[in-house]
Amino acid sequence: MVTNSTSRSERDRLYAEGRIGEGSFVFDERVAAVFGDMISRSVPGYATVLATTGLLARRHARPGSTLYDLGCSLGAASAVMAEALEEAGACRIVAVDNAPAMIERAREELAARDLAGRVELRCADLREVPVERASVVVLNFTLQFLPREERLELLRRIRRGMLPDGVLILSEKIAGATPEEERLLVALHEEFKRANGYSELEIARKRSALERVLVPEPLEAHRRRLAEAGFRRVQPWFQCFNFASLVAHP
Ligand code: GEK
């Protein structure tokens, strides 16, 4: 149903082999090695979110500004942004992840795409990275891993570091607004994973591994929080099942 977004990734068999236990998902070498395959078979619309990140980067990047990819994993969004920008070198692209295994693999992915010199990779906690003169900030499927009580402060800090015509791209796994909605979204997502070759056992094991590690919230909670953080215009532009993406302007 979907193709692998990164040709260098191995096939994700972590849950088939029972290598990750309950509530214990971590971004280590085993996950990094299969991540390209895992994300494209697990996140509906991932390719669309990436391609649109490139379009938005082209629209909002300004010479002398910085584009941030926070929670960059293998650097897919940074690579797309670097390729989308017409004047190479006019802006900085800073990609941050606190998992050393991800940063190591991101370095290889960027080199394979001839983009090593275009993206500054930083192995750091994104909560400690200053955001300055930002024209584009990408938080693709990352906010969901931060403790809920820290999300507002991070968004406030990002907003303060953005240029007036900049854009924040926030993509997240979301929860349904009601129990019925949640049931339908989860059922459709599980169908999607089955169609992409995941077994019942793999689906169940992954659900359990992500328990309390990935905490999704309803779309409305994101909209409210972005407004509270000072973003003046917030617009959801994509949703497929329980995955959504919003753009927010300071
Ligand atoms: C993509 N954006 O391909 N500081 C830095 N990195 C963090 C932190 C933190 N506090 N917490 C989690 N991460 C990517 C996909 S994956 C989404 C993002 C997923 C990192 C973590 O190490 C991982 O690489 C990434 O955020 C989340 O579009 O696995 O569902």
The dotted CATH code for 46-175+214-249 is 3.40.50.150
Q: Is the CB of 40 under 6 A from ligand 1?
A: no
The residue ranking higher by pLDDT, 35 or 69, is 69
Q: Which of 2, 33, 4, 6 is nearest to 14 (CA)?
A: 33
Ligand 1: which residue has its CA nearest to atom 13? 71
pLDDT tens for residues 132-141? 999 999 999 9
pLDDT tens for residues 196-242? 988 888 888 888 878 788 899 999 999 999 999 999 999 999 999 99
Q: Is the CB of 77 under 6 A from ligand 1?
A: yes
Please report, for the chain, the start and end positions of each structural domain, with discontinuous segments joined by +. 46-175+214-249
Residues of the chain with pLDDT > 90: what percent?
A: 75
pLDDT value for 87: 77
Q: Is the CB of 142 under 6 A from ligand 1?
A: yes
Residue 5 has pLDDT above 60, yes or no: no
Residue 25 has pLDDT above 80, yes or no: no
- Size of the chain in residues: 250
Residue 245 has pLDDT above 90, yes or no: yes
> How open is the CA angle 63-67-70, to the nearest 5 degrees?
175
pLDDT tens for residues 42-99? 999 999 999 999 999 999 999 999 999 999 999 999 999 999 997 777 999 999 999 9
Residue 122 has pLDDT above 90, yes or no: yes
pLDDT value for 198: 86
Q: How many angstroms is it from 39 CA to the middle of ligand 1?
A: 11
Residue 186 has pLDDT above 50, yes or no: yes
pLDDT value for 154: 98
Is 0.85 topped by the overall pTM? Answer: yes
pLDDT value for 23: 62
Which ligand 1 atom is the nearest neighbour of the CA of 27?
22
Q: Is the CB of 99 under 6 A from ligand 1?
A: yes
Q: Give CA–CA dist 226/231, Å, rounded.
A: 6
Contact 33, 59 (CB under 8 A): no
Q: Which of 181, 73, 186, 175 is nearest to 194 (CA)?
A: 186
Average pLDDT, integer, range 168-187:
96
Q: Is the CB of 238 under 6 A from ligand 1?
A: no
Residue 15 has pLDDT above 70, yes or no: no
Contact 77, 140 (CB under 8 A): yes
Q: How many angstroms is it from 71 CA to the middle of ligand 1?
A: 4
